[in-house]
A and B are shown apart, each in its own frame.
Chain A
Amino acid sequence: MKPCSIPGLIACTVLLGAVAYAQSAIEGRVELPRARATTVINKRYEIVTKGGTLSTNPPLAVVYLEGDFPRPTAPAMVQMAQKDLMFVPTLLPVQVGTRVEFPNLDDTYHNIFSYSAAKRFDLGRYRADERPIPSQVFETPGLVTVRCDIHDHMRALILVLATPHFAVTSEEGRYRLAAIPPGRYVLKAWVDSRTVRSQPVEVVGNATLRVDFP
């Protein structure tokens, strides 16, 4: 499977199963927390010139449909890049079994690692032109905090989900899940590691359900 480009990630995830249930959808809005302080890079003993110094990092949420869904027959592949001393994206939901590539698009080393219980790994230091791009397969549902051993301000989250139906909200909190098979589910909104809101929903054929998470 061809890797999804980073901007197209949300579209990629929502397109799963779109052929069978083109008209069923859930959309709405999640109330997001206040924006966090911007990142300040530690430049004490280095010359840091490119980007990343004052980028905003708006809060986003992941909305997903909890239920008993089969694993994909062909594992998906997505990317979380390192660019301008930041992770892009900083929040990445994936289905269990997805392979995530970590391309280094900077002209400096990174050392990506995670000690999270859901996935423990360390990719070491690799050049931008090395192939294959270092990657990891995420097999256990849960939250994985990804860090850089060299740049301590860099942090990203990978939310490993046992469902193919998920979407990252916009910065305004808006989301849309399309191609949902009819049925009863629990719709969840992951806001941060301590805040997950949920609502029972029933999806009927060819209808768009509106669910807000205040």
Chain B
Amino acid sequence: MKLRHLWILILLVATAPAAEDFFDRLRETLSVSSADGQIGARLSGTLDVESYHFQFPAPGLIYTPDTTLINPRLAVFCDTQLGRQFYLFAQVRVDRGFDSSDENVRTRLDEYALRYAPGSAGRLNLQIGKFATVVGNWVQRHGSWENPFITAPLPYENLTGIWESVAVRSSGVLLAWAHLLLVPPNAKAEYADKHLRSPMIWGPSYASGLAIFGEFGRLTYAAEMKNAALASQPESWNFDHGLREHPTVSARLAYRPNLMWNFGLSASTGPYLRPAALPTIPAGFGLGDYREVVIGQDVSFAWHYWQVWLEAYRARFENPRIGHADTFAGYAEVKYKFTPQFSGAIRWNRQTYGDINHAGGRRPWGRDTWRLDVAPSYRLTPQLQLKLQYSYQEEPDAAQPTRQTFATQATLRF
């Protein structure tokens, strides 16, 4: 059955008069609990079908040499409560890659974690596993159902000239990897090494490790020790290396003066090169000399039908040979619910780069970029949501200095 036919079938089923009741019954069927209610588990999930239309090369974390892409994704969540103190969750995805791509469909265990909360006041929670970072406020809404947009904000997907597989030996290499030495700009060359480049923060960063978090009144704290830096690629997130030798430590402190406002400060530091890059590191240096240091500030506001989020980050990629490579990125996002079922969101994104020493002078190590995203969404039922996104991006001197991207996303939640 073709994907289009499958989706039409889902659309018909999900919008049928009895669909709401059917999905509520399905939800009960997918829940089990012990007789005393002390142990319970629930399966839930989302089925997404996304389409992208863009100019070559593909923007952000989209991987295809074409200018269109259809990306189906099934995410299944398991939430398990074991008494009052233990909580276990996992996320399995079936898709064409962690980020949208034209690869074959595969199945992955993206998240799994065990949480222990010894007290009832929430002051102390301990968590171990592979789970989203505590940094920032985007993680809480990165799922397709909650996210007002289809793509991530610029700090979470705009690729820089940093590779995690090879250490930069000179400023010229870094500028070349950032495609700044390509004159004239070449779209094919910009796409060719795309799989090697890293953004400031790679999406929700499901790296592996430990976390401690909790709340004291209006203050919330969270800290984690993980095996991969925020910029690391999904392949580096698995629980097989790096946690003991070269951990990444991140933390967030947030203050909520009332229900409407939330102010957060985040910081993170850890090596951005994976162990396989060791042979490329000059003698006398180690992975610990190539650290990504991130500091960030986030604000969120919600009241009635308005929701606003802001995040601003500065990331420093340390390199003992060329010094520090700094980049700044942030965004402001507003969502408004016009009717019970129709919402709209707009987001302004910006990323700039600091200077590095090169050829006797100083010059930026990336192209300053800004992007405007607009996304209307409509919920046909409590389980079915349609989303559109239009993005306009300017990146002077790139192969596509102005770029437009259209995306659609249909999400079925169960």
Could you list which residues of chain A lie within 8 angstroms of chain B, going by C-beta atoms?
A: 36-50, 53-56, 107-109, 113-116, 120-122, 124-128, 145, 147, 152-153, 155, 193-194
Residues of B within 8 A of A122 (CB): 305, 337, 339-341
Residues of A within 8 A of B303 (CB): 124-126
B21 CB contact (under 8 Å) in A47, A152, A194? A194
Given A38-B33, A54-B37, A126-B303, 16 new contacts (CB under 8 A):
A40-B31, A40-B42, A40-B80, A40-B81, A45-B139, A47-B122, A48-B122, A109-B302, A115-B340, A116-B20, A122-B340, A122-B341, A124-B305, A126-B304, A127-B259, A194-B21
B275 at the A interface (CB under 8 A): no
Residues of A within 8 A of B186 (CB): none
Residue of B nearest to A116 (CB): B20
Query: For the complex, what is the distance from the CA of A116 to the CA of B340, rounded to whole Å?
Result: 11
Query: For the complex, what is the distance from the CA of A147 to the CA of B341, rounded to whole Å?
Result: 13
A141 to chain B, nearest CB (A): 16
Residue of B nearest to A55 (CB): B37
The 4 closest A-B pairs by CB, nearest first: A49-B122, A122-B340, A37-B31, A124-B304
Q: Is the pair B33, A42 in contact by a Cβ cutoff of 8 Å?
A: no
Residue of A nearest to B31 (CB): A37
Q: Is the pair A44, B111 in contact by a Cβ cutoff of 8 Å?
A: yes
Q: Give chain B interface residues in 300-319, CB to chain A under 8 Å.
A: 302-305, 307
Residues of A within 8 A of B79 (CB): 40-44
Question: What is the predominant secondary structure among interface residues of chain A facing chain B?
Answer: loop
Q: Is the pair B37, A38 in contact by a Cβ cutoff of 8 Å?
A: yes
Residues of A within 8 A of B121 (CB): 49
B214 at the A interface (CB under 8 A): yes
| Contacts known (A37-B40, A125-B304); A115 close to B341, Cβ less than 8 A | yes
Query: For the complex, what is the distance from the CA of A114 to the CA of B339, rounded to whole Å?
Result: 12
B382 CB contact (under 8 Å) in A44, A46, A147? A147
Could you list which residues of chain B lie within 8 angstroms of chain A, going by C-beta atoms?
A: 20-21, 24, 28, 31-33, 37-38, 40-42, 44, 77, 79-81, 84, 87, 89, 91, 111, 115, 117, 120-122, 125, 131-132, 139-140, 213-215, 220, 258-260, 302-305, 307, 337, 339-341, 379, 381-382, 413
Residues of B within 8 A of A42 (CB): 44, 77, 79, 89
A54 CB contact (under 8 Å) in B28, B40, B122? B40
Residue of B nearest to A123 (CB): B304
Residues of A within 8 A of B120 (CB): 49
B87 CB contact (under 8 Å) in A43, A55, A147, A155? A43
Residues of A within 8 A of B21 (CB): 193-194
Q: Is the pair B304, A115 in contact by a Cβ cutoff of 8 Å?
A: no
Residues of B within 8 A of A193 (CB): 21, 24
A23 to chain B, nearest CB (A): 40
Query: For the complex, what is the distance from the CA of A60 to the CA of B109, rounded to whole Å?
Result: 39
Query: For the complex, what is the distance from the CA of A56 to the CA of B44, rounded to whole Å?
Result: 19
Residue of A nearest to B78 (CB): A40
B40 CB contact (under 8 Å) in A40, A50, A128, A194? A40
Residues of B within 8 A of A113 (CB): 340, 382
Q: Is the pair B258, A47 in contact by a Cβ cutoff of 8 Å?
A: no
Query: For the complex, what is the distance from the CA of A121 to the CA of B337, rounded to whole Å?
Result: 12
Q: Is the pair A145, B20 in contact by a Cβ cutoff of 8 Å?
A: yes
A152 CB contact (under 8 Å) in B44, B125, B305? B44
B36 to chain A, nearest CB (A): 9
13 A/B residue pairs, CB under 8 Å, sorted by A: A36-B28, A37-B28, A39-B31, A40-B42, A44-B77, A48-B122, A49-B121, A49-B215, A54-B81, A56-B37, A115-B382, A124-B337, A127-B259
| Contacts known (A122-B339, A155-B24); A53 close to B111, Cβ less than 8 A | no
Query: For the complex, what is the distance from the CA of A153 to the CA of B213, rounded to whole Å?
Result: 23
Q: Is the pair B302, A125 in contact by a Cβ cutoff of 8 Å?
A: yes
